[in-house]
Amino acid sequence: MDSMMTRSKKRPLHRRRGFSLLEVMIALVILAFGILAMTVMQIEALRQGGAGRHTTDAAAVGRTYLEQTQRLPYATLDGLKDTGWMAPAWAGARSSFDTALTNPTGGTAIEHTYNVQWRVTTVPATTCMLDVEMQVTWQETNVTGNKNLVLATRRYNWGGASC
């Protein structure tokens, strides 16, 4: 019975185990650095997500313009071959395209302006095929210089006499 009483007695205050104030402060500093790193990572992820969206928008603009060149007669393309980069010149085409954001309070704001150029070049060792390239450029926030995206297709002269 005596042994049961000694087991149930509380230990003296100086023998209790726990965390010192210094240990708690070090743990809080480590936690703060972890939270700071996560915050920086989240901000960078948001920025990169925006850049990816802008590249997707540029690809959509370029693909739309490239599809419009498929409707142009081959003779028109042949007359423009090897003249270098130029602004789109067919009916309804523009050399720049704006994307807009709708504000929650009303109205819109231009987010980015995409500039479009195209060129037609001869495919080497052929007489009946042309390369059509569409270049879309835009300025990305916090990036030096313009970003650009080039999409290309080939056109075959189905109606050509020697093709």
Neighbours of 20 (CB within 10 A): 8
Q: Which residues of 42-81 are buried (b: 16+ CB within 10 A; e: fewer)?
A: eeeeeeeeeeeebeebbeebbeebbebbeeeebeebeebe
Give the pLDDT score at 12: 60
Q: How far is CA 50 from the centre of its chain?
A: 6
Residues of the chain with pLDDT under 70: 1-16
* Number of H-type helices and E-type strands within the chain: 3, 4
What integer pLDDT is reported at residue 25 of this predicted model? Answer: 93
From residue 61, how far is each of 13, 54, 93 by CA, in Å?
74, 11, 11
Q: Residue 127: its pLDDT value, please?
A: 84
Q: What is the pTM of this model?
A: 0.68
Sign of the torsion formed by the C-alpha atoms of 42, 44, 45 and 51: positive
Q: Residue 107: its pLDDT value, please?
A: 82
- Region label for 142, one of left (φ > 0), alpha (ψ between -120 and 50) or beta (otherwise): left
Q: Which residues pair with 105 in a beta bridge?
A: none
